[in-house]
Amino acid sequence: MMKQEYKERLQAVADAVTSRIDTLLAPSGAPYDELKQAMAYSVNAGGKRIRAALAAECARMFGAAEDVCIEIACAVEMVHTYSLIHDDLPCMDDDDLRRGKPSCHKVFGEATALLAGDALLTLAFSVIASMPQTVSADPANCLRASQILSSFAGIDGMVGGQVMDLQNENAVVPAETLKQTNALKTSALLSAACQMGAAVAGASEEMLACLFDYGYHLGLAFQVIDDILDVISTEEELGKPIGSDDQNHKTTFVSLLSLEGAKKLAEEHTNQAAQALKKLPDPAFLTELTQDLLNRRA
């Protein structure tokens, strides 16, 4: 696939997801319409729609219709957004800004932000469960997608990773712990996105296992590169101050393994992600996306 075609497909998925989510969250005149406003504000706050693209393109790879691809993409994007809203709350990371814009609770208040996160998580499962009606998807395949999402977003997935992240604060943790934290916090939902897409299209468990591996290594490579960029990038390129991890006394792959060791680790996970892709029927888009994410300068 040419880089141009990859970029066009990424943009097309992003646009279709935004449009569909706008429809799902359109005000209905209910007294609680502000909830939908808060949800839509955060879902459309400028994310790159990476998880949505993974879900949509994996569904497409196994033969799903366009509307099925977009529906499952919306579900995973909602879960990603809910996790960001809750992560930004004062009792968690207490972040006033998200991608340069005021975070949900700064605009709508803490209570509404909490409930907007809750409602986005709930709506994601509603979108999947309604797919037999909305886009003629197979009920058993949808249930498998719901199982994947709930399993990778929960205790032994994203939420467990957030608990580990809290525990790691202001502590020097060993590399294995840092790896496990990132595997749960980041890889889990990337893996889930790929597998959910493939599952609604009826892919085999063997293919789902390949996509699990792909997401696992993609997530780890992504995080290691994040840590590297925090050291070697410029503030101009990164769009935020560099060296923030060091100032926050945060254990990173660079602080544990040195810059060279971290670069080697990123390369290893990138290679293993590429290996996993080789087993898939049509990995061209994912191959481009992997390169795009891992060669980034910011």
Q: Which is nearer to a copy of itself, 86 or 269 (CB)?
A: 86
- Entry field: residues in the chain: 298
Minimum distance from CB of 252 to a copy of itself (Å)?
18
Q: Is 293 left (phi over 0), alpha (psi -120 to 50) or beta?
A: alpha
Q: Which is nearer to a copy of itself, 88 or 288 (CB)?
A: 88
Say if strands 101-102 and 97-98 run parallel, antiparallel, or are unpaired. Answer: antiparallel
- Residues β-bridged to residue 101: 98
Query: Site for a copy of itself (CB under 8 A): which residue of 2, 4, 29, 30?
Result: 30
Q: Does 125 bind a copy of itself (CB under 8 A)?
A: yes
Q: Which of residues 199-218 bind a copy of itself (CB under 8 A)?
A: none
Minimum distance from CB of 125 to a copy of itself (Å)?
4
Distance CA 23, CA 251 (A): 42
Q: Does 250 bind a copy of itself (CB under 8 A)?
A: no
CB atoms within 10 A of CB 276: 23
Binding residue count for a copy of itself, defined by CB under 8 A: 56
Q: Which is nearer to a copy of itself, 17 or 127 (CB)?
A: 127
Residues lying near a copy of itself in the complex (CB under 8 A) are found at 30-32, 34-36, 39, 82, 86, 89-92, 109-112, 114-115, 117-119, 121-123, 125-126, 128-130, 132, 139-140, 142-144, 146-147, 149-151, 153-156, 159-164, 166-167, 177, 180, 184
